[in-house]
Chains A and B, each alone.
Chain A
Amino acid sequence: MLFRLSHITKTYGPVTALRRLTVEAAPGAVGLLGPNGAGKTTLIRTLLGLISIDSGTGEILGLDIRARRLDIRQQVGFMPEDECLFPAVPGVGFVSYAGELCGMASADAMQRAHEVLNYVGLDEARYRPVESYSTGMKQRLKLAAAIVHDPKLLILDEPTNGMDPAGRQEMIELARDLSHGKGMSLIFSSHLLPDVEAVCDHVLVLGRGELLAQGNIQEMKQAHPRTFDVRLKGNTEPFLARLRAVGGDAKPHEDTLRVQLPEGQTPDLLWRIAADLGEQIRYLRPHRSSLEDVFLEAVGG
């Protein structure tokens, strides 16, 4: 088990950030989705042991989130969302300092800093002061600083914020490589659904401090066997009436009808009705929800 939280409540004055949140996640790449103010950052801080929760219990990597805060942070790498830097150091000094703060000896930290900077692709720029870095370089630098001590779990909070498309693609590839190729667990928080989809296997959808949906992305996206999107050439009313008469249902969705077949029927039924009525079916395909649908459905609900 990567982490397990049960009945976690956290309030900041009148604001309830987490409301009796109970959630579990298995090791692997976990996406954290949710609109602004959903409690993603609070959840991450709870996992890092950075905040005192009002009630509830939890553990991460087998460590209690209340009692073993420093040990948790020792084993977790965190890349914060905001722009934040250790000032007045070159890139390699930045990363080695991050390593020393995790308890590495300074020679080890320097060697390791060069390794991870090679990995994230910061080349000669590592000798420049970090203040002169571009946004994309700062993001890579923060990623390097988060993995310098080889954490068991890496938490990325909005890692692709402000990056150009090429940089974003590289960041996604790095995150995917770390989680799928190097066996590091990953919590990837983002508003950008394609990013989460590209990196993660599992997703948690948060809203207003509660868990709205969770599951394997591929399973969530799987085809629905009795739902089809259908477009007819002519009048749809008689078609709808016949469909309802046999126990099916349909409602308009964009320029198609989203048809729900009755129990035990196949799409043949649709062809038969259309043939009886002399209508033309111009479009027919099984409905497959995107992650966006899942997200919007969860948040909207």
Chain B
Amino acid sequence: MPIFDQGYQHWQGRLSGHGWRWLAVARHGVKAQLRSWFVRVLLLVAWLPAIALVTTLTMWGLLEQQAESVIAFLQRLLPPEVIAQPRDYRAAVWTIAYSYFFKAELVCSLFLVLIVGPNLVSRDLRFNALPLYFSRPLRRVDYFLGKLGVIGFYLAATVVVPAVGAYLLGLAFSLDLGVVRDTHHLLWAGVLYGLVITVCSGTLMLALSSLSRRSIYVGLAWAGLVFLTHMLSSALIGIRGDTERRAIMQDGIEKWVRDNPPPPSVEMRGSYPIYRYSPPRQDKKDPQQTPEEKAKERWLRDWSAENRELYTRAEAARLAQGPTDWRPVLSYAYNLDRLGDWLLDTDAAWVLLGRTVERPRQMVGPMARSQGVPVPGGPPNDRMLADRMVWQFPWYWSAGALAGVWLLSVFVLSRRVKSLDRLK
């Protein structure tokens, strides 16, 4: 009880305008979620990739200043051209560091959304809070924006803020304003990418959350949708790759074995030779191999070279299909990943690094092969790394898939979170 009960008092404070009303919803949601220790721990975990990013960028800054200890450490990891002229590779290395950071944060953010999101609408439905919201000066769009803002806050805290912080630290360690000229696109692309993740995954989560009054089911649906589609897509990609590689290699080896029949001591089982292992002779009296053994050894070496060649060809065939492979589009996470690659222009960065790696191969390759050193053959391919490290299917496929899911989510939300303009 109050010490002196004054009864009801009028209040003459100022009310804010309608435009920022969604912020009250967002603030309330953020505070409510922060009370959970699990969310706080997850936030800390989600900062770990940022530490790796900061480490990479600062090390690069020190390398650009030719710090001895950093050079000694990085010499074993990077091609000598890169160590010699680090400024030429600055944009590429920063881009790749950021792309790995965003890949890690994408996983973290999908988990974070799984923890933070399911309650957002489903609990309001369970406790019938919508009449309380909508009988106040709040539009439905304010409600959605506010709830999206909760997810946005957590994703910004794990994706955008560390990305910007790492940028500033990297800038500080490089002591060179040229960094801004080379890498400013990472800053806005990172912020934009954070926004894309927030809007896409946030809206999907809100739509799922509006479908059930029990948040556990919402969490299961999210996990199913995001992680199962990912597994399905990965499995399809793997199956296709394996099938095609096996077809190319099996056909090739069979043809080669027909042209080069194995010596009598080697028996073929499928594509693989089976033979009795004979240890190298220790007998001093007769160091010479028999002609039979020599033939077997030569045949096996040729088989192995052919196998490697066929593998390279199969790999090239697989990569050649990258630009038209629709299977990654089935996965929600791959689609977000693809958009990230496009926004950051990771492809160009890998092409630059690929060229650096390919140049020496081109020069020493023929020499090395004539000495019997196994160096992969084939013409120089600057895109060797890019094709492997970056999705090659068109980015607008992913954008289309995500836009479709977004529209569906908005439709579901508008059907499930109804205005009060209806009979009970």
B10 in complex: contacting residue of A15, A106, A108, A150, CB < 8 Å: A150
A23 to B52, alpha carbons, bound, how many Å?
Answer: 70
B28:A112 contact, CB within 8 angstroms: no
From A83-91, A204-212, A234-242, A247-255, give the one contacting chain B. A83-91
Q: Is B277 an interface residue (CB 8 A)?
A: no
B32 in complex: contacting residue of A88, A98, A145, CB < 8 Å: A88
Chain B 111-136 per-residue mask, 1 if CB under 8 angstroms from chain A, else 0:
00000000100011011111111111
A51 cross-chain contacts in B, Cβ below 8 A: 419-421
A102:B15 contact, CB within 8 angstroms: yes
A50 in complex: contacting residue of B24, B134, B424, CB < 8 Å: B134
B122's closest neighbor in chain A, by CB? A87
Within 8 A of A (CB), among B26-46: 27-28, 32
Given A70-B139, A74-B137, A103-B16, residue A150 in contact with residue B11 (CB < 8 A):
yes
A142's closest neighbor in chain B, by CB? B132
A108 to B32, alpha carbons, bound, how many Å?
Answer: 19
B129:A74 contact, CB within 8 angstroms: no
A177 in complex: contacting residue of B7, B17, B128, B138, CB < 8 Å: B7
A81's closest neighbor in chain B, by CB? B131
A149 to B17, alpha carbons, bound, how many Å?
Answer: 14
Given A84-B127, A86-B127, A98-B132, residue A106 in contact with residue B421 (CB < 8 A):
no
B11 in complex: contacting residue of A88, A98, A145, A149, CB < 8 Å: A149
A105 cross-chain contacts in B, Cβ below 8 A: 13-14, 16
Q: Is B364 an interface residue (CB 8 A)?
A: no
B421:A102 contact, CB within 8 angstroms: no
Distance (whole angstroms) from the CB of B297 to the closest CB of chain A = 74
Given A177-B8, A178-B8, residue A17 in contact with residue B423 (CB < 8 A):
yes
Within 8 A of A (CB), among B157-188: none
A104 to B12, alpha carbons, bound, how many Å?
Answer: 11
Q: Is A170 an interface residue (CB 8 A)?
A: no
Given A74-B15, A104-B15, A123-B1, residue A85 in contact with residue B423 (CB < 8 A):
no
B138:A101 contact, CB within 8 angstroms: yes
A48 in complex: contacting residue of B123, B124, B130, B135, CB < 8 Å: B135
A85:B131 contact, CB within 8 angstroms: no
Q: Is B25 an interface residue (CB 8 A)?
A: yes
A70:B135 contact, CB within 8 angstroms: no
A276 to B137, alpha carbons, bound, how many Å?
Answer: 72
A70 to B134, alpha carbons, bound, how many Å?
Answer: 10
Within 8 A of B (CB), among A102-124: 102-106, 108, 112, 115-116, 118-119, 123
Distance (whole angstroms) from the CB of A259 to the closest CB of chain B = 46
B25:A101 contact, CB within 8 angstroms: yes
Within 8 A of A (CB), among B81-96: none
Q: Is B281 an interface residue (CB 8 A)?
A: no
Q: Is A78 an interface residue (CB 8 A)?
A: yes
B21:A50 contact, CB within 8 angstroms: no
B21:A85 contact, CB within 8 angstroms: no
A84 to B28, alpha carbons, bound, how many Å?
Answer: 17
Q: Is A224 an interface residue (CB 8 A)?
A: no
A124's closest neighbor in chain B, by CB? B1
Q: Is B422 an interface residue (CB 8 A)?
A: yes
Distance (whole angstroms) from the CB of A4 to the closest CB of chain B = 21
Within 8 A of B (CB), among A61-86: 70-71, 73-74, 78, 80, 82-86
Q: Is B18 an interface residue (CB 8 A)?
A: yes
Report which A residues bind B (CB closer than 8 A).
12, 15, 17, 41, 45, 48, 50-52, 70-71, 73-74, 78, 80, 82-89, 97-98, 100-106, 108, 112, 115-116, 118-119, 123, 131, 142, 145, 147, 149-150, 177-178, 181-182
Jot down 19 A-B pairs with beta carbons below 8 A, ordered by A. Answer: A74-B15, A80-B131, A84-B127, A84-B130, A85-B129, A86-B132, A87-B124, A98-B132, A98-B136, A104-B15, A106-B27, A115-B11, A116-B8, A118-B1, A118-B2, A119-B8, A147-B8, A177-B8, A182-B8
Smallest CB-CB A-B distances: 10 pairs: A103-B15, A150-B11, A84-B128, A100-B24, A51-B421, A87-B127, A73-B137, A78-B135, A103-B16, A101-B136
